[in-house]
Amino acid sequence: MVERFHRQLNSAIRAYPDVNSWIDFLPLILLGIHTSVKDEIGYSPAELIYGTTLTLPGQMIAPVIPQDIPDPTTYVHRLRAHMSQLSPKPPRPQETDTYVPTDINQWTHVFVRNDGIPARICPPYSGPYKVLQKREKYFVVDVNDLQAITQEFKTGCPWKLFYADDLALIAESLSELEEKFQVWKQGLELKGLREST
């Protein structure tokens, strides 16, 4: 009896077009199995358990009189007219203030955020790194005996350059960025290293 039920359940699941999402169709499949009349006994399993037939979803809807069905062409015209009167809402402005601690100018060490695509197990910040210089909008820090410019503050600068080691060169203009890049590159060459591409 159980094997017969499993066979019926498996064949019903295989009948659906997307077998991988069978869990979504399972309630409907079970409803169909429980309400189908068994030939051997002349009753459905639901009738044997509850003493009456189950109310199926189609029986809950009142029958539609053919004259109440709207003409599809007029429906399309009404839908188009209604949709043309709608105006899209503009997106809400995103105003999120960045929190900057008041004692940030007294810090001697900072953490640098690891932006980019992280590995599965990767801390969100690296450091702490010693602060070499304090500027108005950023810090120059010592990373493995190299000077790097942190992106601690939300600067709004249009020129940002990120590297694989999660360091950023930030500048107010493209020429300043190129200047800082050359200084950084020379610092690498002095240490016998080169930038990764």
pLDDT tens for 115-142 read 666 666 566 777 777 888 877 777 777 7
Token couple for 17: 């077009």
Give the pLDDT confidence score for residue 154 in this predicted structure: 42
CB 147 within 8 A of CB 189: no
Is residue 14 within a helix (H) or strand (E), and if so which, with residue range?
A: helix 2-15
| Distance separating alpha carbons of residues 166 and 158, to the nearest angstrom | 18
Are 140 and 155 in contact by the 8 Å Cβ rule? The answer is: no
Give the span between the Cα atoms of 142 and 132, in whole angstroms. Answer: 6
Q: Which residues of the chain have pLDDT under 70?
A: 1, 19, 63-70, 94, 96-99, 115-123, 144-177, 188, 190-197
Per DSSP, 19 falls in state G
Letter for the amino acid at 26? L
State residue 98's pLDDT score: 65
